[in-house]
């Protein structure tokens, strides 16, 4: 073979190599062996009973937000919905404050009750006066309080744990660290502060103590604060699911800022995506809701992405909204495997209109939401990245 023939061969071999490398990256979601491997998590709460306080508790409730999102009726999103029954709506904060006294707290020795009551009063005062809302970026990380009376404490590299009554088990510590490592596979770019800072988790055994300290009904399962990096968990069999969902909010939502918080669909969609994959705990209602979407159900993108309140949806409508938000986020995460999703979020945080963020991050033809909606619909009906 002459020199010209050899050069042609080398050229086409290079073309083939580059094309193969591109296809592997583009189709990476179809080859699990090439994706980062997640560690199995041993659930330390598996032996506990399941929560049965109300099926409307799809996720942990956020701490009250002083800069709340503008509320908007969701009736146009889900025409057949009815208002959520009154008993499934979180009562106003004032109706819960002071509901219990120190004498109502179970499992605390008599000499400690006065100290617990004082802690509850201080805790409520702090919560009521602090301006805390999703996406607040603080230049200085908050200082954590000391553990309340009657709580054991433990710490790991990434967590400070306060647990009511029994000591913190090594199984729980190992599960939390394994979960953190799994979550960082997708979230480290959004929360580099986790290398130097911890998250504080309160674990409650008694629903009464949980209600007294957090002001939340037991069926909520927990409460969280993004800016203070706190999660409060009432121990039940699904507590690990709650922790993975709320850790995602703390790690992901902190990437945004007060002037430009991430939209609700992106925040909750990402939380369900991480909970389902890295947290290995898909919500029990997710598969059924995705089946509805695959059959052509769900919301128009324009309505899904401008929703700021779900209070007018019934439980089926809320589940459908969560499932679709999850599916859209998964599509954006898996559509390409480079920095496109990070770029999209960064541009959104910096104030660029959403449709411009989309085309800047993903390129053509995604210059309109209709193009994204069409591609996502096709994808979910062919069981590709969005499921």
My answer on whether 147 and 185 are in the same domain is yes
Q: How far apart are alpha carbons 66 and 134 in whole angstroms?
A: 10
| 236 within 8 A of 198, measured Cβ to Cβ | no
| 150 within 8 A of 112, measured Cβ to Cβ | yes
Q: How far apart are alpha carbons 152 and 167 in whole angstroms?
A: 5
My answer on whether 96 and 151 are in the same domain is yes
Q: How confident is the model at residue 244 (pLDDT cuts 50, 70, 90)?
A: very high
pLDDT of residue 185: 92
My answer on whether 199 and 239 are in the same domain is yes
pTM of the model: 0.70
My answer on whether 224 and 291 are in the same domain is no
Q: Per-residue pLDDT for 257 more than 70? A: yes
The residue count of the chain comes to 387
Q: How many domains does the chain have?
A: 2
Residue 370 lies in a domain: yes
Least confident window among 206-215, 232-241, 270-279, 306-315: 306-315
Residue 272 lies in a domain: no
* Among candidate residues 213, 90, 98, the one with its CA nearest the CA of residue 149: 213
My answer on whether 59 and 189 are in the same domain is yes
My answer on whether 187 and 305 are in the same domain is no
pLDDT of residue 147: 92
Residue 252 lies in a domain: yes
Q: Please count the CA atoms within 13 angstroms of the CA of 265 that sit on its side-chain side.
A: 20
Residue 268 lies in a domain: no
Residue 37 lies in a domain: no
Residue 339 lies in a domain: yes
My answer on whether 245 and 313 are in the same domain is no
**End residue of a domain, out of 258, 293, 317:** 258
**End residue of a domain, out of 215, 239, 258:** 258
| 97 within 8 A of 215, measured Cβ to Cβ | yes
pLDDT of residue 142: 66
pLDDT of residue 384: 59
My answer on whether 96 and 140 are in the same domain is yes
My answer on whether 225 and 308 are in the same domain is no
Q: What's the rounded mean pLDDT across residues 49-60?
A: 48
Give the domain range for residue 123. Answer: 45-67+88-258
Q: Per-residue pLDDT for 344 more than 50? A: yes
Q: Per-residue pLDDT for 221 more than 70? A: yes
Distance of CA 256 to CAs 182, 311, 363, 365, Å? 22, 24, 23, 26
Which residue has tokens 């409060």?
232
Contacts 24+ apart (CB under 8 A), 17-24: none
Contacts 24+ apart (CB under 8 A), 23-28: 25/336, 25/337, 25/338, 26/336, 26/337, 28/337
Tens of pLDDT, residue by residue over 99-146, are 333 333 333 333 333 444 444 443 443 333 333 333 444 445 668 889
My answer on whether 177 and 128 are in the same domain is yes
Residue 155 lies in a domain: yes
pLDDT of residue 265: 94
My answer on whether 95 and 227 are in the same domain is yes
Tens of pLDDT, residue by residue over 174-184, are 999 999 999 99
Q: Per-residue pLDDT for 387 more than 60? A: no
**End residue of a domain, out of 258, 274, 305:** 258
Residue 73 lies in a domain: no
My answer on whether 341 and 385 are in the same domain is yes
Q: How far apart are alpha carbons 178 and 169 in whole angstroms?
A: 14
Rounded percentage of the chain residues whose pLDDT exceeds 90: 40
């Amino acid at each position: 073979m002459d020199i010209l023939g050899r050069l042609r061969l080398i050229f086409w071999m290079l073309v083939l190599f580059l094309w193969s490398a591109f296809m592997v990256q583009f189709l990476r979601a179809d080859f699990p062996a090439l994706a980062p491997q997640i560690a199995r998590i041993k659930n330390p709460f598996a032996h506990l009973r399941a929560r049965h306080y109300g099926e409307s508790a799809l996720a942990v409730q956020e701490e009250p937000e002083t800069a709340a999102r503008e509320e908007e009726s969701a009736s146009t999103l889900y025409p057949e919905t009815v208002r959520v029954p009154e008993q499934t709506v979180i009562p106003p904060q004032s109706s819960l404050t002071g509901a219990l006294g120190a004498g109502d707290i179970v499992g605390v020795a008599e000499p400690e009750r006065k100290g617990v009551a004082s802690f509850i009063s201080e805790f409520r005062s702090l919560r009521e006066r602090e301006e805390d809302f999703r996406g607040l970026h603080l230049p200085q990380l908050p200082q954590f309080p000391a553990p309340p009376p009657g709580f054991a404490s433990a710490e790991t590299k990434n967590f400070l744990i306060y647990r009511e009554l029994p000591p913190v088990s090594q199984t729980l510590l190992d599960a939390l660290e394994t979960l953190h490592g799994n979550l960082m596979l997708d979230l480290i770019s959004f929360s580099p502060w986790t290398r130097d800072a911890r998250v504080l988790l309160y674990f409650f055994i008694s629903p009464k103590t949980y209600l007294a300290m957090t002001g939340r009904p037991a069926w909520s399962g927990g409460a969280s604060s993004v800016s203070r990096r706190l999660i409060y968990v009432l121990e039940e069999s699904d507590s690990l699911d709650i922790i993975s969902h709320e850790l995602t909010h703390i790690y992901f939502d902190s990437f945004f800022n007060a002037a430009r918080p991430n939209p609700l669909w992106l925040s909750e969609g990402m939380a369900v995506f991480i909970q389902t994959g890295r947290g290995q705990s898909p919500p029990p209602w997710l598969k059924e809701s995705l089946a509805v979407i695959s059959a052509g159900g769900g919301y128009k993108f324009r309505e899904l992405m401008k929703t700021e309140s779900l209070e007018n949806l019934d439980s089926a409508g809320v589940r459908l909204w969560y499932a679709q938000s999850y599916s859209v986020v998964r599509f954006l995460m898996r559509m390409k495997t480079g920095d496109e999703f990070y770029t999209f979020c960064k541009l959104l945080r910096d104030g660029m209109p959403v449709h411009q963020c989309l085309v800047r991050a993903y390129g053509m033809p995604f210059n309109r939401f209709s193009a994204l909606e069409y591609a996502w619909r096709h994808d979910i009906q062919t069981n590709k990245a969005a499921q």
